[in-house]
Amino acid sequence: MKTKFDKINVVDIEATCWEGIGAPREKSEIIEIGICQLDVRTMIIGNRQSIIVKPEHSDISQYCTDLTTLTQEKIDKDGISLESACELIQIHHETKQYPWASWGNYDRRAFEYECKRKQGLGLTIYPFGVDHINVKTLFTLMHRLKKPPEMSEALKLIGIPLQGTHHRATDDAYNVAAILSTLIGCCNK
């Protein structure tokens, strides 16, 4: 399948987490996928979507709720399987046809790990093509920084206010798309 380059899908995930080293016998799993599309010609960020994913092997800790605002009750009520979530983003965002971007490699690795684990169960669900943009690395290089900043620090450096709730995947995806649009804009001068 040929890659299209007029849009970039910007993705952020939230995952189960625990204070310190984690809960015994529980694995970190994706619990929210936030995605939006950056139109690289107009720099308009659109097609925002948040998908709640129900983990199979872990529960939502109080620490995770404090960080993300997601509760076990919300996950139980609104969550769908990771396979269904991946199918949804492929349909609504054509994720196999467009490059995708995230802040760092955590999101890419989490998708690769979880999809590979589920592939062992006979499921083929990895929703993205091969073209991934690490916005954190790109930002660090373009701004000639000595170390990569956190997303919220990067927004401050370029004078863009954080939109929405930090550590909610759809809001973080939007904020990363805003950062990416400034980096692409620098190239168009």
DSSP 3-state of 34: strand
Q: Is residue 2 part of a domain?
A: no
How many angstroms separate the Cα of 132 from the Cα of each of 3, 63, 109, 140? 12, 30, 11, 16
Q: Does residue 23 register a pLDDT over 90? A: no
Q: Is residue 40 part of a domain?
A: yes
Domain range for 47 is: 7-184
Q: Is residue 158 part of a domain?
A: yes
Q: Are 36 and 45 in contact (CB under 8 A)?
A: yes
Average pLDDT in the chain: 92
Q: Is residue 91 part of a domain?
A: yes
The domain spanning residue 175 has which CATH number? 3.30.420.10
Place of tokens 């139980």: 76
Strands 7-15 and 30-39: antiparallel
For 20, other C-beta atoms within 10 Å of its C-beta total 6
What pLDDT digit, counting tens, does each position of 77-91 carry?
999 999 999 999 999
DSSP 3-state of 11: strand
Half-sphere exposure at residue 126, Cβ-oriented, CA atoms within 13 angstroms:
17
Q: Is residue 112 part of a domain?
A: yes
**Rounded distance, CA 101 to CA 173, Å?**
9
Q: Which residues pair with 140 in a beta bridge?
A: none
Number of domains observed in the structure of the chain: 1
Q: Is residue 70 part of a domain?
A: yes
- Least confident range from 4-8, 18-22, 90-94, 101-105: namely 18-22
Q: Are 104 and 14 in contact (CB under 8 A)?
A: no
Q: Does residue 104 register a pLDDT over 80? A: yes
Average pLDDT over residues 11-21: 91
- Least confident range from 12-26, 107-121, 139-153: namely 12-26
Estimate the crossing angle of helix 169-187 against helix 151-158, to 10 degrees: 40
pLDDT value, residue 117: 83
Q: Is residue 179 part of a domain?
A: yes
- Least confident range from 17-21, 143-147, 152-156, 160-164: namely 17-21
Prediction pTM value: 0.93
Q: Is residue 189 part of a domain?
A: no
**Rounded distance, CA 118 to CA 170, Å?**
24
